């Protein structure tokens, strides 16, 4: 029998706090402040007369309404574009990059409106995967918070007037001109900036990244190596969250997972060590995770270096193991670090070089981070010194996201000419004289080179919604070049495509990607900023950490807080690990919370650098002792209705040391006595007995006998123990046509949340806001359950005795292993919800779907009560018209925002139940296309939104009646090995099969 | 809808009849359902997708043939694609096509038909000449295969060889005539159906009135005769002189009861009908901003529905034609008409034409045209009624869920030649034998087929 770790869903469950126990026994929280929105005082008075009045009025209104139906208009195109047919979606290849992660995308448009983004399978980099941020970015196009016209000092101004004034002022500028931007990976944009610089010779282009990697650049002589995790059998990450936020997470996740998937044919896995402070998405997927204080990161890197290269003794067993395995793996090893300390990055590069890692490629380097902290800091000082004559901010918002934001603010005031090309009147733009808003990327032409030799394009998929102008066009205009950026772009590609340019260009635009490079020839790699010896000396002389250390980190959702901050889908996307939405918090280890008597939700005053912010406490298992973590990207002041005042801005807490921005500091924490609840989506659905819910085993056991890794429930019958489906009250369905099903590989799921947002976009799922999440009324059809597991296990019975072991299993684990489980409607064949619906609003289809018919539903909620998986969501409000939700769900309120809605999916009304439909609109479309072509649908043609967006292909959807489909093959292969149904014993026979998670751990390493 | 047409005249009679027959709703529903079942037989002039494509390969690409199959395929293709602008002997929008195969080689014609503007742009002398000669009116490009074009030319060649007189009433005419005749017959049938009943009722009423008058006259004559007799006793006289007492009838409980019952029934029937009709827009016939006549375009001129409703075979929406589609013909035809001028004005002002939407399905119901036309092979008229006879379009079908479901229950699936259904048909036949394989037996009445 395998070990069965005890899982708990949150600290509350572990502690069995009275509140939790109460909540655990009721599906719906007892106090449901529905009345709150009415604010009426006469709720207590029986409004009989009101009722009669209303009824009378209602009958009269109905009678009147029946006399005349409103006249509706059908307005066709005046001149229909040839490729647009109403009702048929068109896909255009494009590229998402806003200074953080890169995604090659396909834009799904309906009647000329982009409504959804999908991964571009042609891309050699992201290979059809898509991050949650890219998924959500389509909503930023329809963001009401965008600046809709050119402005002078915040007041609307004509484009011509702005151009004229800017050109006059640029001609007479004294001092330097600075263009400030985050990383730009567009070769043609860089050419435009170069052209601008040649027209105004004093121009300097300063790039800085809010979450800086300049140390990595400096340690590698100015180039950012590109990594290939698929070539690594041993991965050691020193604080690099490469599956969540570091450099190119979608690309890395795809590479990483190729060595993590197991099957009967491939019983090998990579080994992943993670040394980090906060429990990150990557850390929760690691085989061995070691909590490390930020100040110890240098020592850890040094110990690892000594372990691999030198002969120093490793300070811990895990470090020794990591070093030994790296050495043994040789070129199949890889070390990465997210640190912005040059010394650490130098050692990391030295280790990779020493083992000759094949996963590091300096020849075709990544372009995704080019920011240089030192130059930005110099610019901030120069602005304050008054030597800068003009500054142009291009998608840069240093007044918010730079640690020296205060100095930026005073500096900009001293610059004679300040121009912002940002898309909204944000913290920086509001300081500038001129605002010349850029198009959204879905309205623009542009090119991208995320990695040398790999190009991609973006193309406009909608006419500009507002009176904005593409930033490159603005720069060209001011540089006196009358060419449009589109022609400029084509001209710069002319050399690359050669011969038949038009054909090559058409193909590149169609595919969205191309091979070749448009960047200038690489200068010989400069010498690293410091030698290994210098790095060792620097680490040895670094000050030892003292007091409570702070680590700043980036979240998978809102990232560095640029345009993502005003995106409600990302604000409501639960953090993969903490499951918190809407705002940041101070993540503290359990030990500290107990010692200081803090409870979850207590507001702390966090002080560092003489600045302080106030945030609530969240107790985070896995957080390194004596450290706290705070996410950046929150606390915007001028992002828009959604992002403003959500959380607090943690950038000012970062340290500027040795010309680098370091996301670590020493802080003092002080309890304010205030309370601020954290909107977490988990700990809400707790009725399940979780043992048969999620299963895991180790690689060693899997190799030994794959049939033993999964525990199957058996029930007692007169004939002995049998599979639960041998006994049933219900008749089985016969599926003649299709039988749709899904397989979710828990080994491949990294918990990134891309599917959650993908589902939300596809199915018009409403955003409910912080208070409603706290009220447990979030609407996500697909959630990712995260389970922490304890280190104690039943194996200790003999040694420690049962009682002591059970007590130990209840003990909070400092460093739990984590498992992610996407949970959605299981489309049970014997669905408990179907049998209790009094109005037959939820029924079973002949293709295995559990159908939900909104217009039949009367809202008894019996189905939700009877669902063992808690996947049904109830519409407590009209989220599309109740003014309470206007801020958070505003896109359903305005004509502008509604353009993003999927026209094939109903927007649900108040009082009805909803849930995952297996993307029935896609199933119907796929079948229809096949019927039109007089054939059966091919496997892979019908894909749900979640399966499609998954960067690691953890979700496989298909027809289980088709014996040749991928899903049928997986199910045949994994039957009796890793395949299991959640809560098999209750015999609801789900159409979703999960595959047991396999960890590449060895007990001695884990327990060490 | 027949019942709609009946209503204005014979409303009261019908109501009376129904009340007495006490069948109420069920009769009305039968009346609703009947046309659905009969319509496919009544109209045949919708297009059958794929039929021409199947016929086309009969002609070998590259040379015109006298092959009868090729000519008939060409005939169909010509009617579908060319007849809007071309005739054999007359100039319509484009030139007359008589002897085109003698004037131009087929190697020139194929690229011309596929993409005329390309040929003009390439500077081809003849192409430029034709283009200029016909007011620089561009011939639209056609996605036809070489074989299909060849069969069209074969057809034109065959037509050219016929004497001018004969061609006028040639194959197209025949075809049109046949279809027209059928339609005219069918609609006349429907028309006579309703008017015969009206006339019959009027005649009956007249006959009744005549009878009543005759009876009164006879009674009076008889009274006079009796009054002349002297041998009547007192009782007879009393009876003879007794006056018709209205008050007595008025006071009679039986009559009162009957009248009251009748009144209640009529009111009840009317209210039930009224309530059931809330939200229904059957017969809705709004005035459109432009007096476009489907009767003229689809009926008389035989323009294929999908010529204007371009996406009816491929999309969820049939597509209301944009003004540029009107301009394909009306840049040349009837340019002086005040109605057509409205289109010109819309184009000049860049303001799209705002048609009044007739068929309003609630947002919660998903309907896809292509599923029904392309896959199901349903005629447009099945749901839209005799559109080719409508001067102004009205909503023919009730568009209620009951109406949808009924059709899904009764209509056999169009499985012929569709690989999607092969195995399903076998399974169905094995399990159900002779029972028809209807839409609903394939899950076509499940909720999430239309609601999601």
Q: Is A374 helix (H, G, I), strand (E, B) or coil?
A: helix
Asked if A811 is an interface residue toward chain B (Cβ–Cβ < 8 A), one would say no
For residue A57, the surrounding DSSP H or E stretch is helix A48-67
Q: Among residues A387, A383, A396, A390, which one has the least CA distance to residue A417?
A: A390
Residue B129 lies in a domain: yes
Number of domains in chain B: 3
Determine the residue of chain A that is closest to B284 in CA distance: A69
Flag if A73 and B427 touch (Cβ within 8 Å): no
- Domain end position, chosen among B145, B161, B177: B161
Instruction: With beta carbons less than 8 A apart as the criterion, state whether A283 and A996 touch.
Output: no
In whole angstroms, give the CA distance from residue A267 to residue A291.
Answer: 29
pLDDT at residue B176 in the model: 38
Identify which of B320, B354, B443 has the shortest CB distance to residue A737. Answer: B443
Q: Which residue, among A507, A491, A681, has the nearest Cα to A577 in the 3D structure?
A: A681
Give the C-alpha separation, A543 to A1001, whole Å.
34
CATH class of the region A697-782+824-999 = alpha beta
Task: Note the pLDDT of residue A48.
Answer: 76
Which of the four pLDDT bands, split at 50, 70 and 90, describes residue A307? confident
A79 and chain B: CB distance < 8 Å anywhere?
Answer: yes
More confident residue, B262 or A174: B262
Taking all residues of chain B, what is their mean pLDDT, rounded to a whole number? 76
Q: Enumerate the residues of chain B whose CB falls inside 8 A of the CB of residue A944.
A: none
Residue A33 CB coordination number (10 Å): 10
| Binary contact (B420, A847; C-beta < 8 A) | no
Q: Are A345 and A220 in contact (CB under 8 A)?
A: yes
- Tell me, yes or no, whether B180 lies in a domain: no
Flag whether pLDDT at B189 surpasses 70. no
Let me know whether B301 and B420 are in one domain: yes
CATH topology of domain A151-212+371-511: Rossmann fold (3.40.50)
Q: What is the mean pLDDT of chain A?
A: 87
Instruction: Give the confidence band of B57 by pLDDT, cuts at 50, 70, 90.
Output: very low
**Mutation target among B420, B421, B425, B442 for the A interface, most CBs of A within 10 A:** B420
CA distance A694 to chain B (A): 31
Domain with CATH 3.30.70.20 in chain A: 697-782+824-999
Distances (CA, A) of A888 to A116, A642, B366, B429: 19, 6, 28, 54
SS3 of A793-840: the string is CHHHHHHHCHHHHHHHHHCCCCCCEEEEEEECCCCCCCCHHHHHCCCC
CB B99 within 8 A of CB B160: yes
- Residue A457's pLDDT band (cuts 50, 70, 90): very high
Q: Do B319 and A86 touch (CB under 8 A)?
A: yes
Residue B179 clears pLDDT 50, i.e. is over it: no
- Take residue A953 and report the two structure tokens written for it: 């292909």
Does residue B25 sit in the same domain as residue B61? no
Task: Supply the pLDDT for residue A630.
Answer: 94
pTM equals 0.79
Kindly report, as residue ranges, where domains of CATH 2.40.40.20 are found in chain A.
544-680
Q: Is it the case that residue A651 has pLDDT exceeding 80?
A: yes
Q: Residue A830: CA atoms inside 13 Å, Cβ hemisphere, count? A: 15
Give whole-number Cα distances, A718 to A577, A714, A721, A725, B204, in Å.
45, 13, 8, 15, 80
B125: its two tokens: 């002398």
Interchain CB distance below 8 Å, A85 and B447 = no
∠ CA A928-A931-A934, rounded to 5°:
160
Q: Which position has the token pair 């394989």? A: B437
> Around Cβ B94, how many Cβ atoms within 10 Å?
17
Taking an 8 Å cut-off on Cβ atoms, the answer to whether B424 and A736 are in contact is: yes
* Token pair for A246: 């570091």
The DSSP line for A843-900 is EE-TTS-EEE-TTT-----HHHHH-TT---EE--S-TTT-GGGTTTSGGGTSHHHHTT
* Residue B8 binned pLDDT confidence (cut-offs 50, 70, 90): very low
Query: What is the percentage of chain B residues whose pLDDT exceeds 90?
Result: 22
Average pLDDT for residues A640-648, to the nearest whole number? 89
What confidence score (pLDDT) does residue A501 get? 87
DSSP secondary-structure letter at A765? P
Query: What pLDDT is stored for residue B428 in this prediction?
Result: 87
Residue with tokens 């503290």: A588
Residue B130 in any domain: the answer is: yes
* Greater model confidence, B175 or A428: A428
Residue B243 lies in a domain: yes
Using alpha carbons, select from A113, A158, A161 the residue that is nearest to residue A139.
A113
Which of A371 and A800 is assigned the larger pLDDT?
A371
What's the half-sphere exposure (Cβ side, CA atoms, 13 Å) at B87? Answer: 13
Greater model confidence, B54 or A324: A324
Alpha helix segments (H runs only) across A572-704: 590-596, 699-704
Question: Which of B250, B276, B302 is the last residue before a domain boundary?
Answer: B276
Minimum distance, in Å, between the CA of residue B344 and any CA atom of chain A: 11
Record the tokens describing residue A50, joined without a space.
Answer: 């009101």
Q: Where residue A194 falls among pLDDT bands split at 50, 70, 90?
A: very high
Clarify whether residues B68 and B30 are in a common domain: no
Minimum mean pLDDT range among A30-44, B178-192, B388-402: B178-192
What are the start and end residues of each CATH 3.40.50.740 domain in chain A?
151-212+371-511
Which whole number is the average pLDDT over A465-471? 93
Instruction: Answer yes or no: do B360 and A72 touch at CB < 8 A.
Output: yes
Looking at the fold, whether B381 and B316 belong to one and the same domain comes out as yes
CATH number at residue B105: 1.10.760.10
Rounded CA separation A99/B66 (Å): 68
- The band of B192, judged by pLDDT with boundaries at 50, 70 and 90, is low
Residue of A nearest to B350 (CA): A78
Q: What is the pLDDT of residue B2?
A: 39
Q: Tell me where in chain A the CATH 3.40.228.10 domain(s) lie.
A: 222-366
Longest CA–CA span in chain A (Å) reads 96
Q: Clarify whether residues B420 and B316 are in a common domain.
A: yes
Nearest residue of B to residue A64, measured between CA atoms: B278
Q: Is the model's pLDDT at A27 over the cut of 60?
A: no
Q: Is A195 helix (H, G, I), strand (E, B) or coil?
A: helix
Give the distance, in angstroms, between the CA of residue A574 and the centroid of all CA atoms in the same chain. 9
Residues of A in contact with B353 (CB under 8 A): 75-76, 78
Are B301 and B260 in a shared domain?
no
Do the domain assignments include residue B172? no
How does pLDDT run across B114-133, given as a tens digit for each residue? 888 788 878 788 888 887 77
Model confidence at A537, pLDDT cuts 50, 70, 90, reads confident
| pLDDT, position B178 | 39
Give yes or no for residue B169 having a pLDDT over 50. no
CA distance A464 to A142: 11
Chain B residue at shortest CA distance from A937: B420
A104, pLDDT greater than 50: yes
- For the domain A544-680, what is the CATH code? 2.40.40.20
Q: Is A936 on the interface with B (CB under 8 A)?
A: yes
User: B296 vs chain A: nearest CA distance in angstroms?
Assistant: 21
pLDDT tens digits for range A836-879: 999 999 999 999 999 999 999 999 999 999 999 989 999 999 99
Residues B315 and B438 in one domain: yes
For residue B348, the tally of other CB atoms under 10 A from its CB is 8
Under DSSP, the state recorded for B364 is T
Residue A587 has pLDDT above 70, yes or no: yes
CB contact under 8 A, B277 and A935: no
Token pair of B136 as six digits: 């620089």
Helices and strands (DSSP H and E) totals, chain B? 22, 1
Picking from A230, A228, A231, the residue whose alpha carbon sits closest to that of residue A247 is A228
Distance from C-alpha of A408 to C-alpha of A176, rounded to nearest angstrom: 16
Task: Compute the nearest-CA separation of B327 from chain A (Å).
Answer: 10
CA distance B18 to chain A (A): 24
Which residue of B364, B418, B420 is in closest CB contact with A854? B364
Residues B83 and B133 in one domain: yes
Please judge whether B451 and A78 are an interchain contact, meaning their C-beta atoms are less than 8 angstroms apart: no
pLDDT tens by residue, A150-164? 999 989 999 999 999
Contact between chains at A846 and B317 (C-beta distance less than 8 A): no
Res. A4: pLDDT tops 60: no
pLDDT at B52 exceeding the cut of 60? no
Both B152 and B264 in one domain: the answer is no
Q: Domain spanning A222-366 has what CATH number?
A: 3.40.228.10
**pLDDT interval class at B60 (50, 70, 90):** very low
Q: Average of pLDDT values for B263-285?
A: 86
Percent of chain A whose pLDDT exceeds 90:
55
Q: Which two tokens stand for residue A975?
A: 């039957």
A330 vs A358: CA distance, rounded Å: 9
Using an 8 Å Cβ cutoff, are A474 and A421 in contact?
Answer: yes
Angstrom distance (rounded) from CA B193 to CA B6: 10
**B157 and B198 in a common domain:** no
- Name which of A59, A61, A64, A79 to mutate to probe chain B: the one with the most chain B Cβ atoms within 10 A of its Cβ: A79
pLDDT for A911 equals 92
Which pLDDT value is given to residue B18?
Answer: 44
Nearest to B447 among A88, A736, A853 (CB): A853
Structure tokens at A836: 């209790």
The answer to whether residue A687 scores a pLDDT higher than 70 is no
Tokens of A657: 């040391």
Over residues A68-97, mean pLDDT: 87
Range of the domain at B195: 2-34+191-276
pLDDT, tens digit (0-9, with 9 covering 90-100), for A752-780 = 999 999 999 999 999 999 999 999 899 99
Contacts of B371 in chain A (CB under 8 A): 928, 931
Q: Biggest alpha carbon distance in chain B?
A: 117
Taking alpha carbons only, the member of A727, A576, A560 closest to residue A650 is: A560
- What residues of chain A, 881 to 910, have a C-beta less than 8 Å from chain B? 904-906
Residue B39: predicted pLDDT: 35
Segment 438-467 of chain A within 8 Å of chain B by CB: none
Please report the pLDDT score of residue B194 as a whole number.
67
- Label residue A222 by pLDDT band (50, 70, 90): confident
Q: What's the average model confidence in pLDDT over A548-566? A: 90
Answer yes or no: is pLDDT of A235 > 70.
yes
Q: Tell me the CB-side half-sphere exposure of residue B5, using CA atoms within 13 A.
A: 16
| Strands A454-458 and A513-515, bridge-based pairing | antiparallel
CB-based contact, A854 to chain B, within 8 Å: yes
CA distance B113 to A872: 57
Name the residue with higher pLDDT: A725 or A511.
Answer: A511
Domain's final residue, options B114, B142, B161: B161
Distance CA B91, CA B192 (A): 39
Q: Are residues B379 and B414 in the same domain?
A: yes
pLDDT range class, residue A116, cuts 50, 70, 90: very high
Task: Assess if residue B25 is contained within a domain.
Answer: yes
**Lowest-confidence region among A219-223, A929-933, B446-450:** A219-223
Phi, then psi, of A128 in degrees rounded to 5: 85, -5
Residue numbers of B between 376 and 435 with CB closer than 8 Å to A: 417-420, 424, 427-428
Distance from CA of B78 to the nearest CA of A (A): 23
Question: For residue range A997-1007, what is the model confidence (pLDDT) as tens digits?
Answer: 998 887 544 43
Cα→Cα distances A830→A319, A729, A834, A844, A967, Å: 50, 9, 8, 9, 21
Q: How far is B50 from chain A (nearest CA, A)?
A: 11
């Amino acid at each position: 029998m395998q070990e069965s770790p005890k899982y708990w869903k949150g600290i509350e469950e572990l502690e069995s706090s009275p509140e939790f126990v109460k909540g655990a026994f009721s599906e719906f929280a007892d106090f449901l402040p529905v009345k709150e929105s009415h604010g009426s005082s006469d709720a207590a008075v029986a409004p009989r007369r009101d009722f009669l009045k209303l009824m009378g009025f209602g009958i009269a209104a109905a009678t009147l309404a029946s006399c005349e139906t409103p006249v509706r208009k059908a307005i066709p195109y005046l001149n229909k574009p040839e490729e647009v047919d109403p009702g048929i979606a068109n896909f255009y290849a494009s590229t998402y990059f806003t200074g953080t992660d890169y995604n090659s995308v396909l834009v799904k448009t309906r009647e000329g409106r982009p409504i959804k983004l999908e991964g571009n399978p042609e891309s050699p980099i992201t290979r059809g995967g898509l991050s949650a941020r890219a998924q959500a970015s389509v909503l930023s196009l329809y963001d009401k918070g965008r600046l809709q016209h050119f402005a002078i000092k915040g007041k609307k101004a004509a484009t011509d007037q702005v151009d004229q004034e800017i050109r006059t002022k640029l001609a007479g500028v004294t001092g330097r001109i600075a263009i400030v931007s985050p990383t730009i990976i567009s070769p043609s944009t860089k050419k435009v900036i170069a052209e601008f610089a040649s027209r105004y010779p004093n121009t300097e282009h300063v790039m800085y990244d809010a979450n800086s990697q300049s140390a990595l650049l400096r340690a590698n002589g100015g180039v950012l190596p590109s990594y290939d995790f698929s070539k690594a059998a041993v991965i050691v990450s020193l604080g690099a969250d490469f599956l969540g936020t570091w450099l190119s997470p979608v690309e890395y996740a795809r590479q990483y997972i190729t060595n993590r998937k197991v099957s009967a044919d491939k019983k090998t896995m990579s080994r992943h060590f993670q040394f980090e402070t906060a429990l990150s998405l990557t850390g929760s997927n690691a085989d061995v995770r070691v909590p490390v204080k930020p100040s110890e990161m240098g020592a850890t890197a040094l110990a690892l270096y000594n372990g691999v290269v030198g002969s120093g003794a490793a300070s811990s067993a895990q470090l020794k193991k990591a070093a030994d395995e790296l050495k043994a793996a040789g070129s199949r090893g890889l070390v990465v670090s997210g640190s912005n300390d040059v010394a650490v990055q130098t050692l990391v590069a030295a280790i990779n070089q020493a083992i000759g890692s094949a996963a590091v490629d300096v020849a075709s380097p990544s372009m995704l981070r080019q920011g240089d902290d030192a130059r930005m800091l110099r610019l901030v000082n120069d602005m304050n010194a008054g030597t800068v004559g003009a500054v142009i901010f291009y998608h840069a918002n240093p007044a918010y996201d730079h640690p020296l934001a205060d100095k930026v603010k005073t500096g900009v005031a001293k610059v004679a000419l300040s121009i912002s090309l940002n898309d909204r009147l944000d913290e920086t733009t509001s300081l500038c004289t001129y605002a010349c808003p850029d198009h959204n990327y879905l309205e623009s032409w542009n090119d991208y080179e995320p990695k040398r030799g790999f190009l991609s394009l973006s193309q406009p998929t909608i006419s500009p919604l507002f009176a904005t102008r593409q930033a490159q066009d603005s720069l060209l205009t001011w540089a006196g070049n009358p060419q449009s950026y589109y022609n400029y772009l084509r001209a710069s590609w002319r050399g690359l495509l050669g011969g038949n340019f038009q054909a090559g260009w058409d193909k590149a635009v169609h595919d969205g990607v191309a091979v070749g490079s448009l960047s200038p020839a690489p200068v010989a790699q400069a010498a690293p900023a410091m030698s290994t010896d210098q790095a060792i000396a620097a680490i040895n002389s670094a000050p030892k950490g003292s007091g409570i250390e702070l680590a700043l980190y980036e979240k998978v959702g809102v990232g560095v807080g640029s345009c993502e901050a005003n995106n409600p889908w990302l604000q409501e996307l639960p953090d993969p690990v903490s499951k918190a939405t809407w705002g940041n918090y101070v993540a503290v280890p359990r030990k500290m919370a107990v010692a200081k008597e803090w409870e979850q939700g207590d507001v702390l005053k966090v002080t560092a650098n003489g600045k302080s912010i106030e945030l609530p406490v969240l107790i985070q298992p896995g957080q390194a002792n004596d450290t706290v973590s705070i996410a950046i990207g929150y606390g915007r002041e001028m992002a828009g209705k959604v992002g403003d005042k959500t959380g607090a801005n943690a950038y000012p807490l970062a340290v500027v040391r040795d010309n680098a921005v370091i996301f670590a500091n020493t802080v003092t924490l002080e309890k304010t006595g205030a309370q601020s609840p954290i909107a977490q989506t988990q700990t809400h659905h707790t009725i399940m007995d979780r043992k048969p819910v999620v299963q895991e085993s180790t690689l060693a056991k899997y190799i030994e006998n794959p049939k033993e890794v999964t525990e199957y429930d058996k029930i007692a019958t007169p004939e002995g123990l049998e599979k639960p489906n041998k006994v049933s009250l219900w008749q089985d369905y016969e599926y003649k046509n299709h039988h749709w099903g899904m397989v979710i590989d828990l080994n491949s799921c990294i918990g990134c949340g891309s599917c959650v947002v993908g589902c939300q976009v596809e199915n018009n799922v409403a955003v409910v806001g912080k208070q409603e999440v706290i009220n447990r009324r979030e609407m996500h059809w697909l959630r990712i359950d995260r389970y922490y597991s304890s280190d104690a296990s039943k194996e200790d019975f003999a040694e420690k005795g049962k009682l002591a072991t059970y007590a130990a299993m209840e003990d909070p684990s400092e460093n739990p292993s984590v498992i992610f489980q996407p949970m959605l409607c299981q489309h049970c064949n014997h669905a408990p919800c179907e049998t209790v619906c009094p109005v037959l609003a939820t029924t079973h289809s002949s293709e295995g779907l559990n159908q939900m018919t909104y217009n039949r539903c009367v809202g008894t909620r019996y189905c939700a009560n009877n669902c063992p998986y808690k996947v049904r969501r109830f519409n407590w409000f009209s989220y599309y018209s109740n003014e309470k939700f206007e801020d958070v769900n505003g896109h359903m309120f305005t004509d502008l925002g509604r353009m993003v809605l999927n026209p094939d999916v109903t927007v649900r009304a108040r009082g009805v139940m909803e849930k995952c439909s297996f993307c029935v609109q896609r199933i119907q479309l796929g079948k229809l296309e096949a019927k039109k072509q007089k054939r059966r649908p091919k496997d892979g043609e019908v894909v749900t939104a979640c399966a499609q967006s998954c960067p690691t292909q953890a979700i496989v959807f298909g027809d289980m009646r088709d014996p040749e489909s991928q899903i049928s093959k997986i199910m045949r292969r994994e039957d009796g090995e890793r395949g299991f149904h959640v809560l098999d014993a209750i015999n609801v026979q789900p159409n979703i099969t999960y595959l047991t998670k396999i960890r590449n751990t060895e007990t001695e390493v884990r327990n060490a | 809808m027949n019942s709609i047409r009946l209503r204005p005249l014979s409303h009261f009679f019908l109501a009376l009849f129904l009340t007495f027959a006490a069948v109420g709703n069920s009769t009305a529903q039968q009346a609703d359902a009947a046309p659905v079942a009969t319509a496919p037989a009544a109209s045949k002039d919708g297009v059958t997708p794929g039929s021409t494509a199947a016929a086309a390969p009969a002609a070998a690409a590259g040379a015109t043939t006298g092959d009868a199959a090729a000519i008939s395929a060409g005939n169909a293709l010509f009617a579908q694609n060319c007849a809007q602008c071309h005739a054999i002997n007359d100039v319509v929008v484009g030139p007359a096509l008589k002897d085109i195969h003698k004037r131009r080689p087929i190697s020139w014609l194929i690229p011309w038909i596929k993409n005329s503007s390309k040929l003009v742009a390439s500077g081809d002398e003849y192409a430029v000449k034709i283009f200029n000669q016909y007011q620089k009116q561009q011939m639209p490009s056609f996605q036809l295969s070489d074989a299909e074009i060849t069969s069209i030319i074969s057809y034109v060649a065959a037509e050219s060889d016929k004497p001018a007189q004969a061609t006028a009433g040639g194959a197209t005419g025949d075809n049109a005539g046949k279809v027209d005749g059928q339609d005219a017959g069918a609609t006349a049938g429907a028309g006579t159906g309703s008017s015969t009943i009206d006339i019959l009722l009027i005649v009956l009423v007249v006959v009744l009135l005549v009878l009543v008058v005759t009876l009164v006259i006879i009674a009076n004559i008889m009274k006079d005769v009796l009054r002349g007799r002297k041998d009547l006793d007192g009782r007879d006289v009393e009876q003879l002189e007794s006056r018709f007492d209205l008050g007595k009838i008025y006071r009679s409980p039986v009559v009162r009861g009957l009248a009251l019952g009748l009144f209640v029934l009529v009111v009840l029937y009317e209210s039930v009908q009224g309530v059931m009709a809330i939200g229904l827009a059957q017969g809705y016939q709004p005035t459109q901003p432009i007096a476009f006549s489907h009767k003229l375009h689809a009926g008389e001129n035989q323009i294929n529905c999908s010529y204007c409703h371009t996406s009816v075979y491929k999309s969820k929406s049939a597509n209301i034609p944009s003004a540029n589609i009107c301009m394909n013909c009306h840049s040349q035809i009837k340019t002086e008409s005040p109605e057509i001028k409205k289109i010109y004005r819309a184009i000049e002002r860049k303001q799209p034409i705002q048609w009044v939407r007739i068929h309003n399905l609630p947002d919660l119901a998903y309907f896809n045209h292509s599923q029904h036309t392309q896959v199901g092979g349903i005629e447009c008229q099945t749901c839209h009624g005799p559109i080719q006879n409508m001067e102004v379009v009205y909503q023919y079908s009730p568009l209620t869920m009951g109406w949808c479901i009924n059709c899904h229950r009764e209509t056999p699936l169009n499985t012929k030649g569709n690989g999607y259904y092969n195995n399903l048909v076998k399974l169905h036949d094995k399990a159900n034998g002779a029972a028809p394989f209807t839409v609903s037996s394939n899950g076509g009445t499940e909720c999430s087929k239309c609601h999601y």
